[in-house]
Structure 1
Amino acid sequence: MAGSDVIPRDGSGPDGEPDGRWSGPWPDGWSVDHVAETTSTNDDLLHAARRDEVPDRGVLAADHQTAGRGRLDRRWDAPAGRNLLVSILFREVPEVASVLTQTVGLALVHGLESLAGRPLGPRLGLKWPNDVVIGDRKLAGVLAQRCTTTGAVVVGTGVNVGWAPPGAASVLDDLDLDVAPAEVLHHLLVAHDALVADAVGRGAAVIARMTTIGRRVRVLLPAERELVGTARGVDDVGRLVVETDDGRSHVLDVGDVVHLRPLERRPG
């Protein structure tokens, strides 16, 4: 795969020992590549999409990213080999592109439950628009970017598997699962296939695991605006419906959500 500053390798763990799990086998229909280090897996797949070098459902994982980004262009970094840093190229893009990010997020939830061999409870879920959380602590973020020349969409996620920054959650510490990033990816892809096969039930499943619904929220909007109210639901195209204290409903397609405690108010 041609990309930006990619250091390929045959797959090794954080201690430098070979990790054959990156060699697969992977679920049918997925093409998985793994590298030791790159600037950004999303950038690499967007570059490859423009050059028609990667098929639909092509996957690139890295042990370390030197310029990983999250939503709102936030810097995202983690110790090499500890977490799952991965991007997926979708050439078949649904009319509502948010379906891709929500499906990847829900697939991670289902994949972790598959790894655990049991339901992991209501605290593991989705936070609108594109986070996976344990309680109110972030476990993973999901970011989608569209290739302007081909229309393909790259969905990237960074999952705190064996390490988390202060205030965040990890698979190891919060779910008591001592697993490798490659194992998490495998189960995510299997769960993704199951969700795509059940298009009717997928929307309901997303709603069922959306921890934002029913919560009092502060939504940070573009141009330094904000909205405070109660999240009432998500519409058919993935937009958040917030009811403010005056009884009006607001339908939002962008915003950064803060879950508020019941009595929390903005100071001043």
Structure 2
Amino acid sequence: MTPRDVPDANSPDDGRAGNGSRWSDLERPPLNAGALRRALVREGGLWTGVDVVQRTGSTNSDLVALAAAGKAAEGAVLVAEEQTSGRGRLDRRWSAPPRSGLFFSVLLEPVGVPVARWGWLPLLTGVAVATGLSKAAGVDTALKWPNDLLVTVAGAERKAGGILAERAGDGAVVVGVGINVTLREDELPVPQAGSLALAGAVGTDRDPLLRGVLRSLEQWYGKWRGAGGDPALSGLQETYAAGCSTLGRTVRAELPGDRSLTGEAVAVDGDGRLVLATADGVQEPVGAGDIVHLRPV
């Protein structure tokens, strides 16, 4: 994959993505695409290419299209300095100021893993992002099932990121990640949102943060794929449960058709579903695809 394949791409000779106004906010310098490639792309490694574009609608949409056209292979990483049509689960929309976060997608082809276990990829990515940020930013990141990244700001949990996985043909998945890095209070889309900076990150330089997250994702994906996608054998299920703030809380799962289910979140099962213990003494698993909203009670 090359930058010329992506809408609004811009890759000057110095390896940095941007245009004439890329230094307009000196607190938010552009990513160094060349340095990222040198640090991440290596023989025998997962990442086969890293491209940074100045502005695009959605890195997920772009990478799905490139995969469909045969212009991207496993290990392709597409990063945007700004997304104008960023998408979350259930096609929810969100946006952030240019260069204020990490907005990227990766193409994975989990050969040897049964399709029934591909539902673990968003949860795996959550674990990888949380562990990567813990090391690179010094921020304790919790996971809200199924796809939210939480940080603590002024004693309260706030959403600082999200994950979206989409099929890209029969044998591939595109996983998109959005992380608020330097958003200030007056830039937050909603009061419940947060950022690494607001959570007291020891560093907000996006280059080392992205390297740390992608290296962590490479490690966890390798473990999971090496175990044939078995979440228990790879250690993924246990690690996810340890970092999931949803477990142990009473929540209400809002389901399609104005239905809801209330209970204590007691486990994440082998299929990645959240298990709720209801007042009737029944344990009900709910899948991410069945949830409209998951709210604390």
TM-score range, shorter chain: 0.7 to 0.9
Gapped runs of 5+ residues in structure 2?
Answer: 225-233
Give 1:29-178 correspondences, 5 Å limit: 29=45, 30=47, 31-92=49-110, 94-95=113-114, 96-116=117-137, 120-121=139-140, 124-135=141-152, 136-147=157-168, 149-163=169-183, 164-165=188-189, 166-178=191-203
1:183 partner amino acid: P
One of 8, 28, 33 as aligned partner of 1:22: 33
One of 6, 17, 34 as aligned partner of 1:11: 17
Deviation by residue 1:198-253 (Cα, 9 ceiling, x = unmatched): 44222211111111111110111122221111111011110111111111111111
CA shift for structure 1 position 58: 0.6
DSSP 3-state at the match of 2:294: strand
The question of 1:208 aligning with 2:233 is answered no
Tell me: CA distance 1:16–1:174, structure 2 relative to 1, closer, same or farther (3 Å): closer
Distance in 2, Cα, partners of 1:252 & 1:14: 46
CA contact (8 A) 2:76 2:106 kept: yes
CA shift for structure 1 position 78: 0.3
Look up the match of 2:207: 182
CA shift for structure 1 position 256: 4.1
CA contact (8 A) 2:256 2:292 kept: no
CA contact (8 A) 1:217 1:259 kept: yes
Deviation by residue 1:184-208 (Cα, 9 ceiling, x = unmatched): 2110111122223444222211111
Look up the match of 1:236: 270
Alignment TM-score, normalising by the size of structure 2:
0.79
Compute the RMSD of aligned alpha carbons: 2.1
Distance in 2, Cα, partners of 1:44 & 1:145: 12
Deviation by residue 1:100-142 (Cα, 9 ceiling, x = unmatched): 11111111111111114x5x55xx2111111111253111110
CA contact (8 A) 2:39 2:211 kept: yes
Distance in 1, Cα, partners of 2:181 & 2:68: 31
DSSP 3-state at the match of 2:98: coil
Deviation by residue 1:59-84 (Cα, 9 ceiling, x = unmatched): 10001111111111111100011111
CA shift for structure 1 position 257: 4.6
Distance in 2, Cα, partners of 1:197 & 1:175: 31
Tell me: CA distance 1:212–1:103, structure 2 relative to 1, closer, same or farther (3 Å): same
DSSP 3-state at the match of 1:145: strand
Alignment TM-score, normalising by the size of structure 1:
0.87
Tell me: CA distance 1:99–1:14, structure 2 relative to 1, closer, same or farther (3 Å): farther
CA contact (8 A) 1:21 1:183 kept: no
The question of 1:248 aligning with 2:247 is answered no
Distance in 2, Cα, partners of 1:198 & 1:150: 22
CA contact (8 A) 1:139 1:160 kept: yes
DSSP 3-state at the match of 2:175: strand
CA shift for structure 1 position 21: 3.0
Share of identical aligned residues, percent? Answer: 34
DSSP 3-state at the match of 1:7: coil
Distance in 2, Cα, partners of 1:109 & 1:194: 13
Distance in 1, Cα, partners of 2:67 & 2:101: 25
CA contact (8 A) 1:3 1:47 kept: no
